[in-house]
């Protein structure tokens, strides 16, 4: 599905450099994993940050460029003026979006893997990008959303001007997401204290609550709601997609089924969706009913489907349109930053 370009990342310098793509590309045939698929092994690399880059040039619409204009002398122009006239240059096409993968440091895991989608023309206008942090299921890694085609869906939506250019950060869950329930010293801290600061130091993302969204599927949906309901001031939006709200160890101070009702969520935008045949439907639907009873604004979508790999790819564009709704299409209104394009 994607062409893979390996590049190296140099971490720790805020928005000043991006990884270098290697000059060769390898075509891979990608098979969508089930939620019980074995995690993709982390490539062997020297200590620090490693990265690969994927050019999103296949299966997405080609950006339509303005026509090339050439100079045509007016009928009254002199021969000398015609000879010295300079044609207007054709616009330079935007580079396609890219997927990069790497490692971020954490006191809980040592290092954890992530992958990030960078939109077309990333860094060329010197402005930051809104960002969505996305988590997979209990046995998935950072490849889950990528394999479902979220990056291609984003590429197509951006090129069709349906959503503004944005960054997608897809995160490995691992043991810490599956053996902790929330609060300090859990996956919550792993994300808030390590992943997000690392991304904001190394990529040109909008490092303010207005530019930051969070979401996840299944166990990742539990975590997106757990984190956002406990820290609503840090995000503009949160999505729980087929959220697994079944953690029996989560007390009322961390369980999203309680914190959604007991915490002041302010203006946090909330999206809940699930399949009508999903075995996890009862708790998510009860959360929807409880929030409705308390007058807590949220979006509730009951789709056709079950808790399976075929469900989430059907709704990728719906998710992206909802997440992107608060963000301006006009790039010039975003904060400025020094954002070299990938490869520089």
Q: 307 lies in a domain? A: yes
C-alpha span between 221 and 226 (Å, rounded): 8
Q: 40 lies in a domain? A: no
Q: 206 lies in a domain? A: yes
Q: 218 and 130 in contact (C-beta within 8 Å)?
A: no
For the chain, give the mean pLDDT. 80
Q: What is the pLDDT of residues 12-70, one digit of tens each?
A: 333 433 333 333 332 323 333 344 433 333 333 333 333 333 344 333 333 333 333 23
Other C-beta atoms closer than 10 Å to the C-beta of 294 total 10
The dihedral through the CA atoms of 53, 198, 39, 8 has a sign that is positive
Residue by residue, DSSP assigns 148-161 as HTHHHHHHHHHHTT
Q: 294 lies in a domain? A: yes
Q: 70 lies in a domain? A: no
| Domain with 230 in it | 93-333
- pTM for the predicted model, two decimal places: 0.75
Q: How many domains does the chain have?
A: 1
Give, to the nearest 10 degrees, the angle between helix 150-159 and helix 316-324: 60
pLDDT at 8 over 50: no
Q: 167 lies in a domain? A: yes
Of the candidates 180, 201, 182, the one whose C-alpha atom is nearest the C-alpha of residue 102 is: 201
Q: 243 lies in a domain? A: yes
Size of the chain in residues: 344
Q: What is the pLDDT of residues 141-184, one digit of tens each?
A: 999 999 999 999 999 999 999 999 999 999 999 999 999 999 99
Q: Is 304 helix (H, G, I), strand (E, B) or coil?
A: coil
Q: 115 lies in a domain? A: yes
For position 315, which CATH number holds?
Answer: 3.40.50.1820
pLDDT at 86 over 50: no
């Amino acid at each position: 599905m994607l062409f893979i370009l390996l590049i190296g990342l140099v971490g720790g310098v805020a928005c000043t450099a991006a990884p270098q793509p290697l000059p060769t590309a390898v075509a891979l045939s990608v098979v969508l994993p089930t939620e019980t698929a074995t995690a993709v092994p982390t490539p062997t690399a020297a200590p620090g940050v490693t990265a690969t880059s994927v050019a999103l040039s296949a299966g997405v619409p080609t950006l339509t460029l303005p026509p090339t204009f050439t100079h045509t002398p007016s009928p009254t122009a002199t021969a000398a003026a015609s000879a010295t006239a300079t044609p207007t240059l054709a616009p330079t096409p935007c580079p396609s979006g890219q997927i990069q993968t790497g490692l971020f440091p954490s006191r809980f895991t040592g290092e954890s893997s992530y992958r990030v989608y960078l939109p077309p023309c990333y860094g060329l206008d010197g402005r930051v990008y809104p960002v969505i942090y996305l988590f997979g299921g209990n046995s998935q890694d950072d490849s889950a959303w990528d394999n479902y085609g979220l990056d291609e869906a984003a590429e197509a939506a951006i090129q069709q001007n349906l959503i503004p250019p944005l960054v997608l950060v897809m995160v490995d869950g691992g043991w810490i997401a599956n053996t902790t329930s929330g609060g300090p010293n859990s996956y919550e801290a792993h994300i808030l204290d390590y992943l997000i600061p690392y991304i904001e130091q190394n990529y040109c993302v909008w490092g303010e609550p207005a530019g930051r969204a969070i979401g996840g599927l299944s166990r990742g949906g539990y975590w997106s709601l757990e984190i956002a309901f406990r820290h609503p001031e840090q995000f503009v939006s949160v999505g729980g997609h087929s959220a697994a709200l079944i953690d029996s160890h989560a007390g009322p101070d961390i369980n999203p089924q309680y914190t959604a009702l007991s915490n002041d969520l302010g203006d946090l935008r909330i999206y809940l969706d699930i399949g009508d045949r999903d075995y996890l439907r009862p708790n998510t639907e009860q959360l929807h009913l409880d929030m409705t009873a308390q007058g807590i604004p949220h979006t509730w979508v009951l789709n056709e489907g079950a808790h399976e790999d075929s469900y989430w790819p059907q709704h990728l564009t719906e998710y992206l349109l909802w997440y992107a709704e608060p963000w301006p299409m006009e790039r010039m209104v975003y904060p400025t930053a020094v954002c070299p394009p990938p490869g520089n």
